[in-house]
Structure 1
Amino acid sequence: MASSAAPARPRLGVFKFASCDGCQLTLLDCEDELLPLSAEVEIAHFVEASSDIQPGPYDLSLVEGSVSTPEHLERIRRIRAESRYLVTIGACATAGGVQALRNYADAEEFRAAVYARPEYIATLATSTPIEAHVPVDLELRGCPIDRGQLVEVITAFLAGRRPDIPNHSVCFACKRRGTPCLPVSRGIPCLGPATHAGCGALCPAYGRGCYGCFGPSGSANMPAMIPLLRSDGMSDEDVLRLLHTFNVNDFAAVEPERGHEVEPGTKRPGEPR
């Protein structure tokens, strides 16, 4: 007699490291899209959504946040060992996040200034992306990520195909939606020519220059980008402040005038996996 048991659904794990939880909330904000997806996968580990936590292995793991503590180092290796596919989501997981500003300053000084009892805080001197420590199958950029791209990643996984995630710059998205170039038409500084697409060129559509929350694109030309920002009236200090935010590690890696060292093993933008 044939068994009537339904086939096992792929197991999904969602994990948090040093981050603000915004990218996990993007998954919850999928709302209508999340309902049919939840019928196709077993959500085995997602603390933001459920207290029902199941042990690995996991078919697909989504990891938010940077590696910032000694405990993170052990935990990410364990998650990698339990995951068939591992996808990093958001600027913290793909570039170290805004907390990677510590990489170019005195982390001990920061700790003493922020915490009343810094001796109780176990932290690393650097904040690094997940890929600096374990192999990653796909990176999903943004601060936060785009929910359309997230749904595409999960859908592609279920269909057994490569996700259709663009690697071009925000300028392409501006042209597609008919947004005039802000630096050309209004003299507004904009990182769009050097920033990874994915946000739908939201800020330029409302008259604000792109500030690089998706990190540098694979074809970022910073030797040309920085003089363009200066020609739009930005001082050298303003340029550095613009670059040193959500994706400071990645932008520092491509800045032509800054000799920042990058954590060993960190993938520079555009490098093959």
Structure 2
Amino acid sequence: MTPTLAVFKLASCDGCQLTLLDCEDELLALAGQVDVAHFLEASSDVRPGPYDLALVEGSVTTPADAERVHVIRAAARHLVTIGACATAGGIQALRNLTDVDEFRRTVYARPEYIETLSTSTPVSAHVDVDFELRGCPIDKGQLLEVITAFLAGRRPDVPNHSVCFECKRRGTVCVTVAEGTPCLGPATHAGCGALCPAYRRGCYGCFGPSGSVNLPALIPLLRHDGLGDDDVERFLHTFNTAAFDREPRS
């Protein structure tokens, strides 16, 4: 039987789902190999599970999300989370650092109608996840590799090294060494192709921590490049706030 694919959204901007749609020619080839049974971003044709592979975008930020991820997990043979929201809580995890009720009162005219959790958490905090694909948004090539790997019954070949490796491979001069530009490249998961350093901008960590993070060594370097303690905190508190906060630092 043709394997079934389902794509689900929790709290997110839809950017990672759009990455799948942006695959264009590759998506047409993929559509011939899988049965897309649930993908509201692309089609209103929705069929119930079980599904061979479920992709989940978005973080768990509401009681309904917390219940829904269990339903998705039960219906999926393999569950892969895609993007910074699903793998690390996303930029909305900034709420984890303060009082969410204060945000609710400030943003909404009728906060009593807003039902939300006090934290924004990754899907893996609630159910077992077979693989986490990082990025904000995810990389198209990595996404196709993950889908192909799971449908073929093998482990995805997605590197776990840092952005610095990608800079070296494309011959990009280190912006920190050459220009003193603050950069999270040494601590950030590869996958973007070192896009920002290629344009002489410092990496700001949109792919989250790599598999060899050493923040205690990096933070003094950021301070040497002109960032104060508050600046360092802001630099780390973007797309992957919760993930970088889990790393030890000095």
Q: TM-score, normalised by structure 1?
A: 0.90
Q: Counterpart of 2:13 in structure 1: which amino acid?
A: C
Aligned ranges for residues 61-210 of structure 1 at < 5 Å? 61-210=54-203
Aligned alpha-carbon RMSD (Å): 0.7
Gaps of 5+ in 2: none
Distance (whole Å) between structure 2 residues aligned to residue 123 and residue 74 of structure 1? 13
| Match 2:22 to one of 29, 34, 39 | 29
Q: Alpha-carbon deviations, 1:8-35, whole Å to 9, x = none?
A: 2101000000000000000000001100
> Post-superposition, which runs of at least 4 consecutive aligned residues in structure 1 deviate over 6 A?
none
Shift of 1:154: 1.0
The amino acid of 1:109's aligned partner reads E
Residue type of the partner of 1:112?
Answer: R
In our comparison, the structure showing a higher alpha carbon Rg is 1
Please list every run of 5 or more consecutive structure 1 residues that lacks an aligned counterpart in the other structure: 1-7, 258-273
CA distance in 2: counterparts of 1:94 and 1:226, whole angstroms: 23
CA distance in 1, matches of 2:177, 2:106: 42
User: What CA distance in whole angstroms lies between the structure 1 residues aligned with 2:223 and 2:248?
Assistant: 14
Task: Tell me the SS of whatever aligns to 2:246.
Answer: helix
| Partner in structure 2 of residue 9 of structure 1 | 2
- For the residues of structure 2 that align with 1:33 and 1:236, how far apart are their CA atoms? 45
The alignment of Structure 1 onto Structure 2 pairs a total of residues equal to 250
Per-residue deviation at 1:255? 4.1
In structure 2, what is the Cα distance between the partners aligned to 1:104 and 1:144? 23
Give the share of equivalent positions with the same residue, in percent. Answer: 73
Three-state SS of the structure 2 residue aligned to 1:103 is helix
CA distance in 2, matches of 1:9, 1:149: 22
Query: 2:248, 2:41 → 1: CA distance?
Result: 36
Cα distance in structure 2, aligned partners of 1:67 and 1:104: 16
2:231 to 232, 238, 242: 238
Q: C-alpha displacement at 1:158, in angstroms?
A: 2.4
User: CA offset at residue 157 of structure 1?
Assistant: 1.8
TM-superposed CA distance for 1:159, in Å, is 2.1
Equivalence for 2:52: 59
Query: How far apart in 2 are the matches of 1:138 and 1:91?
Result: 13
Aligned mates of 1:229, 1:72 — CA distance in 2: 37
Cα deviation, residue 156, structure 1: 1.2
Structure 1: how far apart are the matches of 2:211 and 2:218? 14
Output one character per residue of 1:45-79: Cα deviation in whole Å (capped at 9) or x when no partner: 00000000111111000000000000011110000
Task: Give the Cα–Cα distance (whole angstroms) in 1 for the partners of residues 187 and 3 of structure 2.
Answer: 37
